[in-house]
């Protein structure tokens, strides 16, 4: 799905992405498996003002956040959804981005949160979902 990976920044149960603070969210793309549309996003691409593409996802109890450089959304094995539009967060300022206890959260200045989490918190190989809390 990528052209070139730039490197893993975080892979842990808890972490903070300090470089996201104060950045405007330019794009947010949810990558889903069309063969199992109810399984939720397998990963999320994020583009913030002044920062190249990153990706984040959950992997067997760990949150992962990586610098990714360029992305390729032409792989027919997946579907690509505009989560910035879907969740109405395009151009909003990120207050913080962090992983806490197996959930990756984007918190915005207006107090809204987007959370990537497991549908069943006890099933670390299970389906994920992105939810918005206003």
Q: Domain ranges for the chain, please list them.
A: 7-133
Q: What is the pLDDT of residue 90?
A: 97
Q: Compute the average pLDDT of residues 82-101.
A: 96
Return d(Cα 96, Cα 77) in angstroms, integer: 32
pLDDT band at 73 (very low <50, low <70, confident <90, very high): confident
Considering the entire predicted model, what is its pTM? 0.89
Q: Compute the average pLDDT of residues 49-78.
A: 90
39: helix, strand or coil: helix
Tokens of residue 33, six digits: 């498996």
């Amino acid at each position: 799905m990528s052209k070139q990976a730039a490197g893993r920044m975080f892979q842990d149960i808890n972490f903070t992405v300090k470089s996201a603070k104060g950045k405007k969210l330019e794009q947010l793309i949810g990558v889903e498996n069309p063969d199992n549309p109810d399984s939720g996003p397998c990963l999320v691409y994020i583009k913030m003002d002044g920062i190249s593409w990153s990706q984040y996802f959950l992997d067997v109890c760990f949150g992962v956040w990586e610098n990714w450089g360029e992305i390729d959304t032409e792989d027919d094995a997946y579907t690509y959804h505009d989560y910035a539009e879907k969740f109405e967060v395009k151009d909003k300022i990120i207050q913080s981005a962090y992983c806490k206890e197996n959930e990756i959260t984007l918190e915005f200045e207006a107090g809204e949160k987007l959370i990537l989490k497991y549908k069943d918190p006890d099933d670390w190989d299970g389906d994920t979902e992105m939810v918005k809390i206003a």
